[in-house]
Amino acid sequence: MLLTLDIGNTNITIGCYEGKRLSFVSRMATDRSRMEDQYAIELRDILDIYGLRAEDVTGTIIGSVVPPVTTYITKAIKKITGLEPLVVDSKTVSDLNVLLNPPEALGADLIAGCVAALELYDGPCIIWDMGTATTVSVIDSQGSMRGGCIIPGVGISMEALTTRTAQLPAISMEAPERVIGTNTVDCMRSGLIYGQACMIDGMCDRIEEELGVRCKVIATGGLAREIVAYCKRDIIYSCNLLLEGLRILYEKNK
């Protein structure tokens, strides 16, 4: 079994693969205050919940945007499995032509997303990863990663709106029936959901204008499903895109 871990700023997504089949997906909070033994206990318990033992794990790979947590997770995995995890970085073999300046600036999460998108959907494509931050990756017709955008995530935007204003309440992420809200909560929900959806549509239009070609659009991340449902464009929602990318990267580097 291959154990894959996508360490984000808010959550750690864990997937276990038997060949190309994803056996389970689980999540735990990204906590910079935890030590390796605490992560080891939680990882072991998650495996146990899904009927697996540490001995069943034959390989493991980590993609992370939180370096301090990477260190503790790496040690935790070694404690419970005896294996040295492959940690994705700019030196990881990916066959991805990165046109950023410098190329090594591309983060592990974007590497995994781009690799998976090329393998599963082919280029040219635009990849939206909607997590704590919303990141956009652009792959051209030659399969090269051209660059992208970084945007405040939906959660960050909502938190800023409610904490920096005196009279706006915390709200749930649900789209109102109409764009034109008739009360404070619906006005906020409209701005967050429909506003983000319009931003995705508009940014994709501008990216395609620069590339001069129509692109497939793929969305992933914890908040993507709620947003892309209200986009006017056809968007492929792939909830496990980064885990698939980690699986492919492991195979390329095995």
- C-alpha 72/C-alpha 190 separation (Å) is 40
Three-state SS string over 13-43 comes to EEEEEECCEEEEEEEEECCCCCCHHHHHHHH
Task: Decide if 109 is catalytic.
Answer: yes
Question: 223, exposed or middle or buried, with CB in 10 Å at 0-12, 13-18, 19+?
Answer: buried
Closest CA to 109 of 142, 125, 132: 132
Which of 56, 95, 109, 140 is the catalytic position? Answer: 109
Assigned token pair, 111: 């590497």
Q: Which residues are catalytic?
A: 109
